[in-house]
A = this chain, B = another copy of it.
């Protein structure tokens, strides 16, 4: 892990456990150039120097190593070898009632750092409609938050984010082809559910978790999702904020699948 070598220097936003490169950063040859936030981070926070080697990765591609050739105020130049493996996929996807922007920002970063593969941000009766107007939902803004998460989690695969402003058409018309019950185990984390997650049914390659808004899904929504194969499970007796609930349930799903596979 790359660690701050300048004591007391706070990490501006997120932690750069890998330098994530995108196609436009590459070339000519095996060189890569980064500017802006990433260059400042490499220089000021990592305190990296010419000759040093750091972990790099290509967005949606493999991991690799980069040797620093130039470190200036404007730009960092590296010689990169992108011949590592691609980081392992998690198989976890989320159906999330759109949270308020401040919470969404944290959820996007956390989800990317945990290698969540897809987030569908959906409307729900208890979602405030103004949340859909947030500038955070613009593609470039989403990308920025997700990249911070990938840098933290040393992951390269960008989660696919989809926004659906209408709950019923999404659930009735799109959900079954996106997550066919033959391929995906679907659980709905819901305060009203009678029991906790049961590992037995979670050996599937794809795990989909539904997470409601702060006040919970309404019965109509729970019923409609149940018709599409979502089994309601409880997160326990305590209402958790969505940015806490998401890592909590991703931890549970990951362990449940481990247990299911060990037992089968």
Chain A residues with CB under 8 Å of chain B are 1, 3, 7-8, 10, 14-15, 17, 87-88, 100, 102, 110, 113-115, 126, 128, 130, 152-155, 191, 196-197, 199, 214-216, 236-241, 244-252, 254-256, 258-259
A113-B241, A247-B248, A259-B259 are known contacts. Are A236 and B214 too (CB-CB below 8 A)? no
A-B contact pairs, 25 of them (CB 8 A): A1-B191, A1-B215, A3-B214, A3-B215, A7-B128, A10-B102, A14-B241, A17-B239, A87-B238, A113-B238, A113-B240, A113-B241, A114-B240, A153-B239, A154-B237, A155-B238, A196-B255, A196-B258, A199-B255, A236-B254, A244-B247, A248-B248, A248-B251, A252-B255, A259-B259
Residue of B nearest to A111 (CB): B244
A126-B3, A247-B248 are known contacts. Are A238 and B115 too (CB-CB below 8 A)? yes
A255-B252, A255-B256 are known contacts. Are A113 and B215 too (CB-CB below 8 A)? no
Asked if B87 contacts A237 (CB within 8 A), the reply is yes
Residue of B nearest to A101 (CB): B10
